Amino acid sequence: MSDICISAASVSHSYGETTALTAVDLEVHKGSVFGLLGPNGSGKTTLFRLFATLLHLQTGNVSICGSDLKDNPAAVRRKLGVTFQSPAVDPRLTVTENLLCHGRIYGLSRKPLVRRIDELLEQFCLSDRKKSIVGELSGGLRRRVELAKGLLHGPELLLLDEPSTGLDPAARRQFWDMIHEQQQKEGTTVVLTTHLMEEAESCAHLVLMDRGRVVSQGSPQTLQASIDGDRLSIRSRNPVELKPILESLLQIKARNVSDRMCFRVPDGAAALQHVMSSCGDRVLSAEVACPSLEDVFLEVTGRGFADDVLPDNTLQNSDEAAS
């Protein structure tokens, strides 16, 4: 039996004349936590919507949980749990009422459904909130309800679209603890989209996407280890004037990332000392760091995450408006 949950080959997708995906190839192993990492407009949302059967497959082949996406989307849908970026629970209903409604949609009979709801509420520390109106809960608690809803029918594959959007750091950590507990306890395969580096580092495998293409992939550790040296980031009140001076001083070309000048240097501490002794009065802040996932993205694309292009949902909305 294959250990592949998702296999995608030569997947391309366009909204009218605008290309959103180009020849995407990837494999997701069963029981793994798999991330699609990229800035807005990278194509990750379009790929997510394809996996969730919300878009028709135009070009290429996709198999999900042993079913062909193009020929049998209904079979794929039965094996999916999906948690969208936007809320998909009714804020006027209680926690239990939301889960009962969703369970009946999936055809679960009442007694097994009630048992499953109680099990998930206990697992996600929501038992004392079962009669609470969802609209009155905090963002973190609402996100737990969303996750419980996605897992109610015991899906083989859980799709999460920007799962911790709007959560504070503590709620984000709690949410991720629940994701990993579910994956380890029931062997659920988890595929998520994100633009957050901290979230991406929690994945076992990552695909970095840019402008509709896969530009790099591997474990976070493997991707970070592919970059040599340290990153020296410098902010200045007058970067236009300081940049050529620093490039001459360090004998390295700078890359502009947001409001920072970034240099890839073999010894970050020595380079920082050199800069501060020569130009310290012109520096607002300076930071030395080991290579991050953003550095990997910068290395392979030549631009930072802040340099966004047209978002996927904008492309999709414009296509719907034209049709």
Query: Cα angle at 57 between 55 and 58, to 5 degrees?
Result: 115
Both tokens of residue 199?
A: 């979230």
Per-residue pLDDT band for 1 (boundaries 50, 70, 90) equals low
Instruction: Name the CATH architecture for the domain at 4-223.
Output: 3-Layer(aba) Sandwich (3.40)
Q: What's the mean per-residue pLDDT of the chain?
A: 89
Give the separation between CA 153 and CA 108, rounded to whole angstroms.
8
| Alpha helices per DSSP H over 159-238 | 169-186, 197-200, 220-225
Q: What is the pLDDT of residue 323?
A: 30
Hey, is 8 helix, strand or coil?
Answer: strand
* pTM of the shown model: 0.81
CA–centroid distance for 42 within its chain: 11
Confidence tier at 312 by pLDDT (50, 70, 90): low
- Convert the pLDDT of each residue in 289-302 to its tens digit: 988 898 898 888 87
Band (pLDDT 50/70/90 cuts) for residue 311 is very low
Contact assessment for residue 51 and residue 156, using Cβ atoms and an 8 Å cutoff: no
What average pLDDT score do residues 138-163 get? 91
Where do the structural domains in the chain lie, given as residue ranges?
A: 4-223, 228-290
Specify the pLDDT at position 320.
38
Q: Of 110-124, 173-187, 301-315, give the lowest mean pLDDT range.
A: 301-315
Residue 3's CB is within 10 A of a number of other CB atoms, namely 9
* Percent above pLDDT 70 for the chain: 94
- Which residue shows structure tokens 């709007």? 166
Q: What is the pLDDT of residue 288?
A: 95
For the domain spanning 228-290, the CATH number is: 3.30.70
Give the helix/strand (H/E) hosting 207: strand 205-210
- pLDDT tens readout for residues 2-35: 799 999 999 999 999 999 999 999 999 999 999 9
CB of 34 closer than 8 Å to CB of 205: yes
